[in-house]
Amino acid sequence: MGIVLVAAIGIWGAVRLGLNTEYPILVVSSGSMCPPADCTLAIGALIVIRGQDPRTIQAGLPPVGSIIVFRPPPPYSTDPNYLVVHRVIGIIQTAGGLSFQTRGDANGGPAPWDSSGGVSASRVVGVY
C-alpha cells in the first residue's frame, strides 16, 4: 500500500512539473463555459491545464480566445483554491504588466472583475 501511495504522489508531482502548473487536472464545476447552442466545457468535464507564458495568451470571441484558469481578484474571492475557467476576450497592457478581460462562453456580459482592471497575469494558473 505504501509503495502505491508513494508512486501516486511521484506521478502527480511529475505531471505538475511536466505541465508547469500547480493544478494540472481540474473538473469544471459551473455552466459558464457551456452555452445552450455550442457547449465548450460542460459541468463535470475533466480538463488538463498547462502553464504558459502570459504573453502568448490570445484574446477573442469563441472559438478564438484562449481559455484560462485563474484565481479571481479580491474582493470576488480570497480563497486561493477557488478557480475560474473563462475565455480571454481582451488583453490590457499596463506599466504593471498584463491583465486579461474574461468571459464565460455562456455568460451574457463581461465578468465583474473586468471593470476593475481584469485578471492580472500573476493570478493565471494555466491555459486549457
pLDDT digits (tens, 9 = 90+) for 41-78: 999 999 999 999 999 999 999 999 999 999 998 888 88
**Residue 55: left (phi > 0), alpha (psi -120 to 50), or beta?**
alpha
Q: Which amino acid makes up residue 62?
A: P
pLDDT in tens, 10-31: 888 888 888 888 888 999 999 9
DSSP state of 119: E
pTM of the model: 0.88
Question: Which residues touch 39 (CB under 8 Å, ≥6 apart)?
Answer: 33
